[in-house]
Each structure stands twice: as structure tokens, then as C-alpha cells.
Chain A
């Protein structure tokens, strides 16, 4: 390999900077690395002996002899074909999913009425076409065979009509005292229809109450901070693209908080070119946003406030007016950082942004608001918005009041539409103990869970893709949520349930939503059917001809676009009152001593509601690459001090509550702090979630929902195996994921040239430049935030199976695209580079030379094709692949699929059997569909017409795909970029996927 003595800030060499994937690797413990194929990778799973295998083999051979040909299949056409459906052609419908109550606009692709693939809605402000992993995986929840179905009361099955009658009787009972003993426990929502229903419910039951509970917090802290600083609980939206300098105070705004898909897109748009932005992150655990930071300051969660005050003090020093009373100079390690950050922010007035995280107390949000205002960012970058949530309060206070009432026996009927509050409620409220005192506990839930088990009424909830509804995004834009499919099981929605308490349960959500919007839009009421005897008495008679209804067209336009045009609200004017902010800051408690326990929503199961989603369970965590469970994250120094190693089980305790958790040492974590992800270890779980992780909620109390001091870790002497994909597929320390300071880029040309261009070869390369299409991909490491949405999207698009924890431990995960995360720098405080890696489609592919049966071959357009029906499973190709992107079906993962899961399969992609190799195809089904459409239309495929699933999902547009033989295509421009390099270029594989060096924009003062 050529010399790579390229300079990088703080280090002598750049491209050769030692990048490492795990602590063990850094310490040089060779035995810790599982190598390419870890021990036992070729073994059958436990409980499946060779003898048993031979018996099964014999039996299948015997059955095969019985019939030479399969029986003839049935062709089942429609009776009445829906107008929009063409068999074998997918149709996209715009809808939305709720992210902590706010809309994320989606376009869902359906084949013959079966939703198969979720994409982001380009027109929607909270998506801009991108999605996250959780959104990609929502279709799996829809088809989950273990979903709750039907309705029961006290174990007695009820039809929906009977439910309506019994609710009506219950409602009459509560009419007597104005609903004084009626309570609703709901999740945050922005739905105008639900808002209307709730208003009307409170008219009928004036003494009833709605309590909102959001275990993952949402924007509650931000609104509480705005209430302090601005006097009103306002929402904030950010124009991240307009910010030159960004300071994140423990905010994961690129991956989970706020309009994170939009923020990621806008942030990434400023990670290349001349005017790069600069990101500072102060946080305790290594987050996705922290991974993108130019400077990351690790500190305990309770210390972030002091850091923020130090920045405010330095800003005041630098001449920013109005911040002097809020600041407080800091001593110690972060003082210099605060000074440099403040100087940078002060130099970018009106072009900077300070974001406080959902886990920080309201006072920090108030301080961030004050700093944004003082810097002149409010207006150009930060906008205050009237809250669109029906109930902006979603903290533990409401839940505490409710628990007290239940305890006192003051609640007869409790309607729960929030997700599993018995699991998520703060442990000190003891909701589990008191819940049984409620006479009529009515729970609406998608799946069986602890709260459902404890309830007397169990109502199956419809999946969002089966429901009518409406949602708003933070700027107020309304999206009508339309179903893609009628409910697979007998189930209902929150809208229908609330309507039932109003005696309108028979109207149905569609009518409730549509009629609500008809009146809100000012359209006249629906015209009555044309004259006839029954016309006046029965306006719902749909068989009778009707005069045209002008609202039909408006409604259809809203549904088609996925949003109501011009429904966004205007930013609010608000002024910060520094005295109140100073007062709130003064009341902040000093950071507690001892080890700080921090809680965080999980990147995969979120607050626990996606625990049963196998795609998300198997998705490696963006930072830790942990699958199938959670762990107690510790910094290397703290782990050393406590004598702990990854995989050791400890008793993690705080305030008399304790759980047993496995330790995971995470580079870059704050010292003297431990972070645990919420949502795992549920008491009632199905086949997927059973035994996954430990229950972090058991340690969480209402006085310290996010950070609490005084945690203890005690060795139990036991260890466990953590299914981490991190050490697998190691690239053996070669220059793979490259990162540079952007100022170094011009000087790095010669070095980068070593990694691109023609490589010497004795083989004559095939010339593809005369072909119509030369497909290629470019992955911009500057833009990749590592969120893993691409992995989830690929899983959904390409019918990729889930293999389970035991198989992941043997490196048998099947993901066609993985996101490698490399650390660089010291283990205590490293920086990271994330690198999505799928088959790079080598023009000179090493896999092809070694296949004895020609199962992997080259197409005329130069793509590396995998032919499943030729593959005999020698796995030579995988052995010879330098990128380690081929996946082998060791077992029949798709065997015995439940009928509902069969509906999930993408009909354009073969469902692979046991014993065949598979890998990324560049979404060949999408290429072929585009090719046939273009050739039928007598044209060429457009330069950017084909979009593979990973590129479509990517929120930051890091992945670009297209025709390299068309100079207009985006991918051609990316391949010609100065930052372009080829992975393992020296091997002469001529990959079609090019990478673009990650650029960082460090502050010279912090060098």
C-alpha cells in the first residue's frame, strides 16, 4: 500500500489515522476479534443436531418422490376491480405517522391493496422525502401475527356494536356526576379531530380530565422552557440550513428530536462546499448527533447547564447584550471550550443556532432561547410556533395526579390510549399497584402488553396504516391520515373510541375526520341525495345519486398531496424575559455527586413500543452496534475504575431500586455516568421481545426523569454475551472510512489520487462507457449521520429475513447494507465516521472468479448479479469478497411464514430459500421497472430516475444513485468530486460505488 502521510489536525497522518471499531481492537487484543467468520459460524443452531437434520432430509426426499409437479395454482381475479389498482403495479398513497404526536408525512407503496414499503413524502415539511428506521419498520407492525384482535370486557368477547352499547351505558352512568370519576390517559397528539372530540367530551363530562403521558418526553421540556423565557409554552422550529455555527446542548436533533428528518437534510446540505457549518455538541452519551460534531464535549447530563451558562457568560464577554445576568463563568476542563464556542457564536450573529435537548431541564431551554434571541437568531434561524399539540403538558406531573386519584379510589373509569403506561410510568408512582382499583379500566392497544393484561376492557387498536385520522407538523401543516388497507383484525381507533363516549361511535372515523374538515374549511354541508321518498330521512343512503359535492375535489387533493396546502401557521412573536430565565437557572440543583444515571429513548424500540418489531430489534444501534437488547453504557475510564468489562452483569441501583444490566463500554461516554436505554425488559412480551434487555423504567422516578445522581453498580460475577455486530466484518485496519479537515482537502489531492483512478491490472477491464446505462452509487461520508434508516429500508424492500440474537452472535445477520462506525482518536474522547456499505458492484469482481457454478456473474451493464437459482452454497464468493458484503442463508429463515407476514413480502423480489448466497442488487427490481416503463414509453431512463431503497430513505441524502454514463446525473457529479475515493482501490476491483471523504470543520482555536 502506498504511503499515506497526510496531515490531519492533532495528528501526523490523516488517511492512515488508526480507525478502530472496538475497544478490544484498540488495545490490540487479537483474540477479541471474531475475524471474518467467527468460531461456530458454520454450525447449526442449538437444538438442531446433524442427526435430526439427516432425518428431515430423508423425509423431504421421500415426500419429493410423491409428486413430480406441484399442483396447479389458482388465479383469483377481482369481482369488481378497484379503479386505481393494476395488478403487479404498486400505487403510492400519502399519509402520515405520528412521531410523539406530530405528523411525519409518508407515501406508502401498496401492491394490490397491500402496503409493502413506506417512503417519506417529499412535500411534507417534517420529512422532505426522508425517513428513519422506525418509520421504515412500521409495516412489519401492521402484519405482526401477534397483534391484538377483537374486543373483550372482563374476558367476555364483544362485537364492536356491543362495545358501543356498553360504552353508551357507561357514559350515561358518568353523566350523573358530570364525569367526576371518568379519566382519560392519552398519548400526545396534534390531531384536530381528536381535539374536537376531546372538547366535546369535556362539554358532556365537565368534571372528567384528559392526562397526557409521553415517556420519551417529546418537546415538553422545550415548551416548559419557552414558558419560562417567553411567558408562553411555544414550540420551536429551526432552519438548520441557515445556521453557520450550531451548539447542541445534549440535543440529538439530527436523529430523534424535533423535526429530525428535516434537520438532518438541512444540516447535511451544509457539510460540503465552501460554507461548511460547524457543530459543537455537549452531551453525556455518544449520540448520532455527537458523531457528526466537529467538537464534542463530553460531560455528565447535569453539567450541561453549567456549560451553557459558561457559554452565555463568554458571549456576554464577547459583547452580546443581555446575557450577562444569565452567564456563570466555569472553571475546569470545559472553560476553554466555552470561550471558543462563544467566540464562534458571537461571530455568526443571526446565523447560528443553540439547541437544547429533550432530556435537559426547562431552564436550559430557557437559556438557549435567551441566547438565540441575544444572537439575533430568532427570525432567520429559530422560529417560535404556537403549539399544535392538543395538550402541551406531557410530563410526569399529570400522571402523578392521576395515580393519586386512582389510589384514593376516585376513578371509576380510566380510558387508556397512551402506550403501556404500567410499563412506562415512573417507578415511584406505583401505577402497577393502584391500577387494579379502577373498576372499568379500558385499554386501546396494538399488542398485548402489561397494561392490556391488567385492564378489564381490552380493545384492539388499528394500525396507523389502517386508520383514518389527521395530524399536524410543528409548523401547523395538516395531513389527513388515510388508511392503506382495511383493518386486518377487528380493531378500532382513538377517534372511534372517543366518539363512542359521545354516542357517535357508529359514524366511523372517516366521516368524523372528513366532516370535521368540511366545516373547518368552510365548505357547505354535503348535498342531500336527489329527490326520493327516503332522501330526507336517510341522508346517508349512498346508493342514491347525489349532486356533485365541491368538497370532494378539495378532499381528494388533500389526500393526494398528503397535506392541506397553506395550512402552516405563522411564526409567533415573543420576547425573552431575562429575569425569569435567571431565576429558573438559579433554581437548578447542583449536579449530584457519585455516578449519574441517565435515561435515553432507544434508537430502535423508542420508548418500548417497538419492542416486538423484529426488524428494529435486529438493527444494530447506530453507535454501539448492539442488537436485541439494551445495556448500561459506561466510559472506558469509569469501567476501568469500577473494574468492569463489556458483557459483565452488574446490579445497577439507585434510591433502593435495582435492575441487573449488562455493561457496555462505549468510547466517548462521559465519565462517572451510566446511560441506559428505555423500553426493554417488558414484563409482558411476545415472541420477539421476550427476554430482550432489562427494564430501565424500573429505575426511573418522576423527580428525575432523565438524569439522577447517586447510582451504584455492583458486580454480580455473572457475564452475558452481547450480540454486537461491531467487531464483525472487520476491514483489518486499512484506510477505509476517510475523514479530513476541510481546509486540508486541497492539499490532500495527491494522497486521494492514490485511492482513485486506474489501478494497474493484468486483466483487460471491460469498457462500459458505450452502454446506455452504467449504474453507479456515491456515498458521501460528510453527509451520513449513521442513523441506519438505509439498513431498515433495504430490509423492507428486499424481503430480508431476521435471524435472531443467537444467529447474530454467529455473524449471520442478513442485512444487505450495513453501517460501519469507526472511531478515531483516543478511546476516552474519540470522533466517529459512519460508513454505509453494501455490495459496491465491482467491475472486476473477486466473487465471480471463484464461483464454481457461475451463480454470480456480470451483466452487460457491468453490474455484479447474484443468481439465486444457480447458487449451490459453496460460500467461496463470500470468502473472496474483500468488502464482506455477501450474506448466506444458513437456515430457512422464511419458512413457515404466518399468512399476514406473507402479505408483507415485496412481490418484485425473490424470497430466498435456505442455502443460497445473497447481496445488494442496487435494487435491480427498481431498475428493471424503470427500464420497462421507459422502453414502453420509447424513451431513455432519466439520469436520476432510479432510486434504490437506501437512497430514498436516507434523510440526509448521503446516498446518491444513477447513470454514470449520463453527465447530467447527480451520481456522475459526485463521482467527479474532489473528495471521491474508491474503497480498497489498490485491489483493482473497480467498484461502482464511490465514497466521498468525510469533511470536518474544526475550530482552529480548539486545535
Chain B
């Protein structure tokens, strides 16, 4: 009676084992890599909204400050998604018959909120606070990118914990004078490092890296 397994089967068995281990490790590794690349973080994906709101037009053409609509960005954790009534502050007068704004008007008259699609999403155990960042001289553009050039909002920063910590460990390169916080095109004059250090001192910038700073 011949042997149940041929001599080759030893080799095949080793290869199968190796493939299984490599596959398991590879899957974990691939998932970890995926979570960090734009496809995984949700970057570089223009997100459609129920109303074709164009930040380019409102920021560049109309020169509206971010805080006109995102009213609580310097006061509260949430920056504030504008209520319908805020849209109608202007659009009850201008473009008040535009079909693009049908949804806004119907929202107002039906008293039914517009359901916008969230672009920047943090996990449930992360407690980000806009007010503290804005009041310490971190500009909108640092995290949200050139919103003034976006026809549809996309996420430019990875919003991973490593990315947050980069700045929390060394915030000075990303600081600007408070009056320039909403400026999309501000560039430091002179030595950026010296300016950052000066601003950090002036605004008492002391970012923390202990866990409860963001996780509660």
C-alpha cells in the first residue's frame, strides 16, 4: 500500500501554513493601512449635498466670513450648521425664486430641517471642541483646507489620531493671529517659526496630549 501522502505534501503543507499566516497578517496589515489612506479616512471625496451650496461663491464672491453661518465656532464645541432661517436672511431677498433653493424654501415653510450630509466625522469617543482651537489661533484652513476653493466640501485632513497629535505636540507652525483665523489665504510675514512661538506665548497655547483631553 502506497503512502497516504506523497513526499511533496510536506512542502505543500508548509506553503499552505505560510500562506495562512501571511494572509492573516496581511489582512490585519492591509486594514491598518487602509484606515490611514485617503480611501479609508474619507479624504478626497467630494460629497454631494441635498442643496447645491457652493462655498466658493459665498466666500470668494460674496466675501462672507465663516462665522456668519458657523456662528458658534468660537463659543462651543460644535461649529454650528446654519439653521434654515439663516439662509433666508439673504435668500428671502436675493435669488428668492431660484429653483436651486427650492429645498431651502420648502424647509422653511414646512418647518422641516434640511438633512445635510456629514463630511467630517470623528468617532463617537472623540470629543473635539472648535472653540478652544479657534480661540488659540488655529485657523479654519488648517483642518478644513481651502474651503473657499471647494465646489463641494471634501475632507482634506485625515482626521486620524496621529494627525491630531502632530499638532498637539508641536502647535506653533499652525498658529496665526486671532484676527486671521477665518482667512483662507493668510501667510505669515517674516520668520514663521518666530511668529508661531510669539503667538503661542501670547495666546497661552498649551495643547495637552493626555487621553481625557479628547476621550471621555
Interface flags for B88-125 (1: CB within 8 Å of A; 0: not) read: 00000000000000000001100111111111010111
Q: Decide: A868 and B215 in contact? CB cutoff 8 A.
A: yes
Chain A positions within 8 Å of B117 at CB level:
72-75
Q: Interface-forming stretch among B127-135, B137-145, B188-196?
A: B127-135
Let me know if A86 is at the binding interface, CB within 8 A.
yes
Q: Decide: A75 and B135 in contact? CB cutoff 8 A.
A: no
Q: Decide: A73 and B118 in contact? CB cutoff 8 A.
A: yes
Whole-angstrom distance between the Cβ of B137 and the nearest chain A Cβ = 12
Q: Decide: B118 and A68 in contact? CB cutoff 8 A.
A: no
A407 to B135, CA, bound (A): 73
Q: Decide: A79 and B129 in contact? CB cutoff 8 A.
A: no
Q: Interface-forming stretch among B52-60, B76-84, B179-187?
A: B76-84
Chain A positions within 8 Å of B209 at CB level:
860
Q: Interface-forming stretch among A293-301, A906-914, A970-978?
A: A906-914
A88-B76, A859-B212, A868-B215 known; A935+B204 contact, CB < 8 A: yes
Q: Decide: A911 and B113 in contact? CB cutoff 8 A.
A: no
Interface flags for A762-791 (1: CB within 8 Å of B; 0: not) read: 000000000000000000000000000000
Chain B positions within 8 Å of A77 at CB level:
80-84, 113-114, 116
Let me know if A326 is at the binding interface, CB within 8 A.
no
Let me know if B216 is at the binding interface, CB within 8 A.
yes
Chain B positions within 8 Å of A861 at CB level:
210
Q: Interface-forming stretch among A336-344, A614-622, A921-929, A986-994?
A: A921-929
Q: Decide: A87 and B72 in contact? CB cutoff 8 A.
A: yes
Whole-angstrom distance between the Cβ of A450 and the nearest chain B Cβ = 41
Let me know if A78 is at the binding interface, CB within 8 A.
yes
- The residue in chain A whose Cβ has the minimal distance to the Cβ of B123 is A869
Interface flags for A392-407 (1: CB within 8 Å of B; 0: not) read: 0000000000000000
A68 to B33, CA, bound (A): 13
Let me know if A80 is at the binding interface, CB within 8 A.
yes
Chain A positions within 8 Å of B136 at CB level:
935
Chain B positions within 8 Å of A86 at CB level:
72, 75-76, 78, 80
Let me know if B17 is at the binding interface, CB within 8 A.
no
A868 to B107, CA, bound (A): 40
Select A908's contact among B115, B116, B208, B216, beta carbons within 8 Å: B216
Chain A positions within 8 Å of B21 at CB level:
none
Let me know if A579 is at the binding interface, CB within 8 A.
no
What's the dominant secondary structure at chain B's contact region?
Answer: loop
A78-B113, A87-B76, A909-B216 known; A867+B118 contact, CB < 8 A: no
Let me know if B85 is at the binding interface, CB within 8 A.
yes
A861 to B211, CA, bound (A): 11
Q: Decide: A860 and B210 in contact? CB cutoff 8 A.
A: yes
Chain B positions within 8 Å of A911 at CB level:
124
Chain B positions within 8 Å of A78 at CB level:
83-85, 113
Q: Decide: A79 and B112 in contact? CB cutoff 8 A.
A: yes
Interface flags for A849-867 (1: CB within 8 Å of B; 0: not) read: 0000000011111010101
Q: Decide: A72 and B211 in contact? CB cutoff 8 A.
A: no
- The residue in chain B whose Cβ has the minimal distance to the Cβ of A933 is B131
**B197-216 interface with A by 8 A CB criterion:** 204, 208-213, 215-216
Let me know if A176 is at the binding interface, CB within 8 A.
no
- Chain B, interface size category, equals 35 or more
Select B132's contact among A79, A863, A935, beta carbons within 8 Å: A935
A80-B83, A81-B83 known; A69+B132 contact, CB < 8 A: no
Let me know if A89 is at the binding interface, CB within 8 A.
yes
Let me know if B15 is at the binding interface, CB within 8 A.
no
A911 to B129, CA, bound (A): 19
A927 to B131, CA, bound (A): 16
Q: Decide: B107 and A79 in contact? CB cutoff 8 A.
A: yes
Interface flags for A706-737 (1: CB within 8 Å of B; 0: not) read: 00000000000000000000000000000000
A859-B212, A932-B132 known; A76+B76 contact, CB < 8 A: no
Q: Decide: A87 and B78 in contact? CB cutoff 8 A.
A: yes
Let me know if A938 is at the binding interface, CB within 8 A.
yes
**A889-915 interface with B by 8 A CB criterion:** 908-911
Let me know if A1 is at the binding interface, CB within 8 A.
no
A78 to B114, CA, bound (A): 8
Select B80's contact among A87, A868, A935, beta carbons within 8 Å: A87
A79-B113, A908-B216, A936-B132 known; A867+B84 contact, CB < 8 A: no
Chain A positions within 8 Å of B107 at CB level:
79
Q: Decide: B211 and A865 in contact? CB cutoff 8 A.
A: yes
A89-B76, A935-B132 known; A79+B84 contact, CB < 8 A: yes
Select B124's contact among A80, A857, A860, A910, beta carbons within 8 Å: A910
Interface flags for B11-49 (1: CB within 8 Å of A; 0: not) read: 000000000000000000000001000001010000100
Q: Decide: B83 and A859 in contact? CB cutoff 8 A.
A: no
A89 to B116, CA, bound (A): 21
Select B212's contact among A68, A869, A921, beta carbons within 8 Å: A921
Select B216's contact among A74, A76, A863, A924, beta carbons within 8 Å: A924
A351 to B80, CA, bound (A): 58
Whole-angstrom distance between the Cβ of A566 and the nearest chain B Cβ = 36
A89 to B77, CA, bound (A): 8
Q: Decide: B215 and A68 in contact? CB cutoff 8 A.
A: no
Q: Decide: B213 and A928 in contact? CB cutoff 8 A.
A: yes
Select B204's contact among A79, A908, A938, beta carbons within 8 Å: A938
Select A75's contact among B116, B125, B132, beta carbons within 8 Å: B116
Whole-angstrom distance between the Cβ of B130 and the nearest chain A Cβ = 9
Q: Decide: B131 and A936 in contact? CB cutoff 8 A.
A: yes
A68-B34, A72-B121 known; A869+B215 contact, CB < 8 A: yes
A86-B75, A860-B210, A936-B132 known; A75+B216 contact, CB < 8 A: no
Q: Decide: A88 and B77 in contact? CB cutoff 8 A.
A: yes
Chain A positions within 8 Å of B82 at CB level:
77
Q: Decide: B76 and A869 in contact? CB cutoff 8 A.
A: no
Q: Decide: A910 and B216 in contact? CB cutoff 8 A.
A: yes
Chain B positions within 8 Å of A73 at CB level:
117-118, 121
Q: Decide: A79 and B83 in contact? CB cutoff 8 A.
A: yes
Chain A positions within 8 Å of B83 at CB level:
77-81
- The residue in chain A whose Cβ has the minimal distance to the Cβ of B34 is A68
Q: Decide: A928 and B211 in contact? CB cutoff 8 A.
A: no
Q: Decide: B135 and A68 in contact? CB cutoff 8 A.
A: no
Whole-angstrom distance between the Cβ of A62 and the nearest chain B Cβ = 15
A504 to B212, CA, bound (A): 54
A68-B34, A81-B83, A935-B132 known; A75+B115 contact, CB < 8 A: yes
Chain A positions within 8 Å of B118 at CB level:
72-75
A87 to B131, CA, bound (A): 12
Given contacts A76-B114, A868-B215, A935-B136, 10 further A-B contacts (CB under 8 A): A74-B115, A74-B118, A75-B81, A77-B81, A87-B72, A867-B215, A868-B125, A928-B213, A936-B132, A938-B204
Give 8 closest A-B pairs by Cβ, nearest first. A859-B210, A77-B81, A78-B83, A88-B78, A88-B77, A75-B116, A73-B118, A81-B83
Contact surface of A with B, Cβ cutoff 8 Å: 68-69, 72-81, 86-89, 857-861, 863, 865, 867-869, 908-911, 921, 924-925, 927-928, 932, 935-936, 938
Query: What are 20 A-B contacts defined by CB distance under 8 Å?
Result: A69-B40, A72-B121, A73-B121, A75-B115, A79-B84, A79-B107, A86-B78, A86-B80, A87-B72, A89-B75, A89-B76, A857-B211, A859-B208, A859-B211, A865-B211, A869-B125, A908-B127, A911-B124, A928-B127, A935-B132
